[in-house]
Structure 1
């Protein structure tokens, strides 16, 4: 009879499955249960509603968490986990702890602020108030559970499970997780890629890791595309073209940007472009309290990152202005001429960037530069897809600004780099699981990996899928239906996106009607359609 140490562990995919947010993986053995990441869902309203629902596990039954890095789609539900009963250690790198010390309270502040605004509207509409997912006291309680790990050093995470971290090259403090699970014969070896950084990233070294695993879990955000091989100088030159175009239009350059890493990379290149005279000198506003605090952490860790000295110079540039208060933020849009605003969030769905978009999307002399991946259903993706009118903060805005995509700062490896990373981890004896990707990225990477792994050994799990892992292979486990969200609803436009589009179309049709009679006719047709739907 097999002993307890030989019982096969179960791997469950609680997020980032056929989507790029909500990263959360559970490993369960006969003696322990741990999570790798516990991230926030972003994108469509249907996906964001998962953040409010119950976890698909009992938080108090989780023994420990390993956090790969500080980005909110990997860390943003840790506060909720603690609020609902988790009290074990959260293991991660020192730099990630420093970043989480500002990012998690900021996420809680945004939760409280946005729910307060929503509840004011709910009172006016006669609706019931709602509660935030978590509050700032939950973030404080969460931070008390963090435990620092060093790269490349083995640590016992729970009974029968040990882990070590490898630099993933994605973000300050980011890590891939190597996991060993004790068995009577030989340990089962698993590696979670987390988000893998591209080669030659501005502030981070290239990703690292060992070889030879039973199972590999790999991200696939850009699994279907190869970016041009730009050097830092070539990338800076391309950025200069967009900046000069914005200056020639004599209007603002608005950059939705992730507050952590992306903002700091942009500041380095803007500083170098202005110092060299390649672009006109202009004020650069970092309008994000989180980005301000994160920049201070980057400066503190400058000796650990590439281009650290240049980053220090950029952060102390005479052109750079950090804004704190809402009043300072609003005052920016009273300026005339050319200036740069960098504000979160990077996908335009939260934070101060929405205020800047509302104030500038209708201006022909404004330029909006998307500096990274835009998830399906986000305002950023809708703008990139060519929307002429959008709804933001409950208001309609016509889009006349020039919308640009500049994706050369991506923190994610492209298809060729992902294939090279997987190949460097081989041999993989059993299965490669592809996660953290939309349909195109998943399918594209699966095709590219078939030269390394048999096609049937590359699995693309769905949300809440579970697999029993052994040294001889993995078996899918039946999942209770219905699932938290049907697979076809993930990384798709949903009813809320459709409703926003419909309201804009109705507004346009009514506005285009020739006279009062025409407008009344449109309203009557809408009423009949609603009555027919109730019948």
Structure 2
């Protein structure tokens, strides 16, 4: 039995690892690489294995950087099952269809504005039909359920607390009379965060793959985050501007609306009109409330008794493109939540074009921004950026609210790792290079565990 590191071994996105057991080949995730155009072009490269040779995939959760190459895997010959938590199937259908639609639209634009022969024959990475075929291969499991998915390979999912259906993956592997337990963290959420339950730690692991997105920092505490957001809203209101929130459609958007209802009075939201300008986020919200068993106690109480939350009478769902365009006629008093979360596509780009040059406006980032994306450029302080081929001056106030991240910080991840009853051998993945080094040092200092930072292609004998 051996483990080979492939995706997210030198960056955050593109999660994918290869497990070989007794002649069988199993993938942990099959995610899309996100970032600069050069990085995203890597998605078209061949896999380091024959897709038809893959016996099964274990999917930790639905975010595109973990699931987004599954349609391509199927398109190139994979025909096995994809094991995941039940809710992830519903969310994956929404996410992968959206990803395919963007790919189809991009290919169409390149064909219509072609200047080379290659552009005249541009093809999408995959189509909506490919996405549907990938989702059709998914097999749902409950948290805590154990299933033999290959001879000698038993799978169990535990709650990762990241987004709905996100899972910590536990694989108990038996080969040649030896048993090893491999645990893959997937993406871990914060403890005591709203809506979802806290991350669960398995009892033991021999080998642990752990993410490190925010392994070098601590998020602001929750009450500090609430106060910070309130001050941003009050300042923007006094200065008669708009507030733009580039938000991931799955997880972040639902959490934001929950917080808007909870702190409606404290944040003086009655002075604003709130727009959820994302058909995908609107659909995901329906899915979230359809899984009451996955919500934390407080969110479940509000779901079962909506009267406990103030009604958001000033909330507008804008599913149609025409309604989205009309928002840009508003000069002040609008809070606009729109995708994509890293500003690398979607409706948020159009709202930025109308507001980014206005000093009275605010842009609030609540999640990780991959290198090469417009979001990373904005949080990095660039004063001139390009949107749809045109240059824009950045005058709006830029705010990064780490306390709302769906990813746990260093303290959260160390707390999760401290829950193991034994001392696993640790491999740090899914992080920027410097962050992984910082997190490795923290693990070694606090938990006295053996830690490695693998490179793509590195192989470990289990």
Q: With structure 2 as the length reference, what TM-score do the two structures score?
A: 0.94
* 2:460 is the alignment partner of 1:467: yes
Q: Retained in 1: the 8 A contact 2:72–2:130? A: yes
Match of 1:436 in 2: 430
- What is the deviation of 1:401? 1.1
- Once the two structures are TM-superposed, the CA of residue 66 in structure 1 deviates from its matched residue by 0.8
Q: Does 1:367 align with 2:362?
A: yes
Correspondent of 1:76 among 68, 79, 94: 68
Distance 1:248 1:151, change over 3 A: same
CA deviations on 1:305-359 (whole Å, 9 max, x unpaired) are: 1213446847973211111222221111011321111011111001111111122
Match of 1:330 in 2: 325
Q: Does 1:392 align with 2:387?
A: yes
Report the secondary structure of 1:372's partner residue: coil
Hey, what's the Cα distance between the residues in 2 that align with 1:346 and 1:13? Answer: 27
1:294 and 2:263 aligned:
no
3-state DSSP class of the match of 2:206?
Answer: strand
* Counterpart for residue 92 of structure 2: 100
Aligned position for 1:278 = 268
Cα separation, 2, equivalents of 1:229 and 1:406: 11
- Alpha-carbon shift at residue 209 of structure 1 (Å): 2.4
The answer to which of 208-217 and 81-90 deviates more is 208-217
1:442-461 CA distances to partner (integer Å, 9 max, x unpaired)?
11111111146657x31111
Query: Do the aligned partners of residues 452 and 403 (structure 1) sit closer, same or farther apart at CA in structure 2, a change above 3 Å counting?
Result: closer
User: Does the aligned pair in 1 maintain the 2:262–2:310 contact within 8 Å?
Assistant: no
- Determine the structure 2 residue equivalent to 1:415: 410
Q: Is the 8 A contact 2:30 2:66 kept in 1?
A: yes
Give the deviation of 1:129 after TM superposition: 3.2
Distance 1:230 1:296 in 2: 26
The answer to whether the 8 Å contact 1:168/1:208 transfers is: yes
How far residue 119 of structure 1 moved from its aligned partner, in angstroms, is 2.4
- Tell me, in whole angstroms, the C-alpha distance in 2 between the residues paired with 1:316 and 1:88: 46
The CA RMSD measured in Å over matched residues stands at 2.0
- C-alpha change, 1:309 and 1:211, in structure 2 (3 Å) is closer
SS in 1 for 2:285: helix
CA contact (8 A) 1:152 1:166 kept: yes
Alignment-derived partner of residue 34 in structure 2: 42
Alpha-carbon offset, residue 301 of structure 1: 1.9
Conserved in 2, the CA contact under 8 Å of 1:244 and 1:279?
Answer: no
Q: Which whole-Å CA distance do the structure 1 matches of 2:313 and 2:269 have between them? A: 16
- Counterpart of 2:228? 238
Cα distance in 2, alignment partners of residues 32 and 453 from structure 1:
34
Report the Cα distance in structure 2 between the residues aligned to 1:118 and 1:392, rounded to whole angstroms: 17
SS in 2 for 1:294: helix
Partner of 1:261: 251
The alpha-carbon deviation at position 277 of structure 1 amounts to: 6.2
Offset of residue 236 of structure 1: 2.3
Q: Which structure 2 residues correspond to residues 48-59 of structure 1 after superposition, within 5 A?
A: 48-59=40-51
- Indicate yes or no: 2:340 matched with 1:340: no
Q: Does structure 2 conserve the Cα–Cα contact (< 8 Å) formed by 1:189 and 1:215?
A: yes
Q: How many aligned residue pairs are there?
A: 457
Contact 2:112 2:120 in 1 (8 A): no
What secondary structure is seen at the aligned counterpart in 2 of 1:408? helix
Aligned to 1:32: 24
SS at match of 1:213: coil
Greater alpha carbon shift after TM alignment, 75-84 vs 122-131: 122-131
Question: What whole-Å deviation, never above 9, does each CA across 1:339-398 have from its counterpart, x for those lacking one?
Answer: 111011111001111111122111222211111111121111101111111011111111
Give yes or no for contact 2:18–2:27 (8 Å, CA) kept in 1. Answer: yes
Query: Is 2:381 the counterpart of 1:381?
Result: no
Which TM-score applies when normalising by structure 1? 0.82
| Cα contact 1:256–1:346 (8 A) shared by 2 | yes
The verdict on how the C-alpha distance between 1:161 and 1:125 changes in structure 2, with shifts beyond 3 A counting, is closer
Rounded Cα–Cα distance in structure 1 between residues aligned with 2:95 and 2:111 = 24
Could you list the per-position Cα deviations for residues 241-272 of structure 1 after superposition, in whole angstroms to 9, with x for gaps in the alignment?
A: 11112212211100000001101111112223
Q: Residues 425 and 15 (structure 1 numbering): CA distance in 2 closer, same or farther, change over 3 Å? A: same
Following the alignment from structure 1 to structure 2, what is the Cα–Cα distance between the partners of residues 277 and 395?
35
> How far 1:81 sits from its partner (Å)?
0.8
Q: Give the Å deviation of 1:76.
A: 0.8
**2:300 counterpart of 1:305:** no
Distance 1:264 1:406 in 2: 16
Deviations 1:2-51, CA, capped at 9 Å, x for gaps:
xxxxxxx1211121113110001110123311111111111122221111
- Kept in 1, the 8 Å contact 2:236–2:362? The answer is yes
Which residue in 2 is equivalent to 1:513? none
Partner of 2:174: 182
Pick from 217, 232, 242 the counterpart of residue 225 of structure 1: 217
- Secondary structure of 2:45's counterpart equals coil
Q: Is the 8 A contact 1:97 1:148 kept in 2?
A: yes
Q: Report the Cα offset of residue 153 of structure 1.
A: 1.5
Q: Secondary structure at the match of 2:398?
A: strand
SS of the counterpart of 1:428?
A: coil
Structure 2: tracts of 5 or more residues without a match: none
**Structure 1 residue 278: Cα displacement:** 3.3
Q: How far did 1:113 drift?
A: 1.3
Superposed CA offset, 1:384-417 (max 9, x none): 1111110111111111111111121111111122
Q: Secondary structure at the match of 2:72?
A: helix
Structure 2 equivalent of residue 139 of structure 1: 131
Q: Is the 8 A contact 1:216 1:428 kept in 2?
A: no
